[in-house]
Amino acid sequence: ELKVEQNPLFLSMQEGKNYTIYCNYSTTSDRLYWYRQDPGKSLESLFVLLSNGAVKQEGRLMASLDTKARLSTLHITAAVHDLSATYFCAVDPNYGGSQGNLIFGKGTKLSVKP
């Protein structure tokens, strides 16, 4: 059974600082997604990582995937208040033949303070 663990689950940052959120998963997978959820809102897709060594960047966020270590990271550079949200990683458990279903981590609640 695939398990997805995120850490930390809560993160309080100061504006301008850098930090990394980690997503570990327990079995082989070749497809990982990052989502963002604002309070009271639904989930929004941020990144899709499809291969070992994949790196995607959007603004102050950069995501990477190491399939051998079964680890993805979401790096935040020079945080700003607008990045305050809950971030989820999600892993496709169907290695080699996706059905589209995902296993989600519990989410990391990020709070960026001035």
Partner 1 sequence: DVKVTQSSRYLVKRTGEKVFLECVQDMDHENMFWYRQDPGLGLRLIYFSYDVKMKEKGDIPEGYSVSREKKERFSLILESASTNQTSMYLCASSFWNQPQHFGDGTRLSIL
Q: What share of the chain is helix, strand, coil (3-state, %, to 5)?
A: 5, 55, 45
Q: Are 79 and 14 in contact (CB under 8 A)?
A: yes
User: Measured from the CB atom, is 1 or 114 closer to partner 1?
Assistant: 1
Query: Least distance from C-beta 94 to partner 1, angstroms?
Result: 9
Show the site string, 12-51: x = touches partner 1 by CB under 8 A, - = not: -------------------x-x-x-----xxxxx--x---
Rounded CA separation 61/100 (Å) = 25
Which neighbouring-strand residues pair with 76? Answer: 19, 61
Considering the complex, what minimum distance in angstroms separates the CB of residue 105 from partner 1? 6
Under the binding rule (CB under 8 A), the answer on residue 66 touching partner 1 is no
Nearer CB in complex with partner 1: 68/99: 99
HSE of 39 in the Cβ direction (CA atoms, 13 Å)?
6
- Binding region for partner 1 (CB under 8 A): 31, 33, 35, 41-45, 48, 88, 90, 92, 98-107
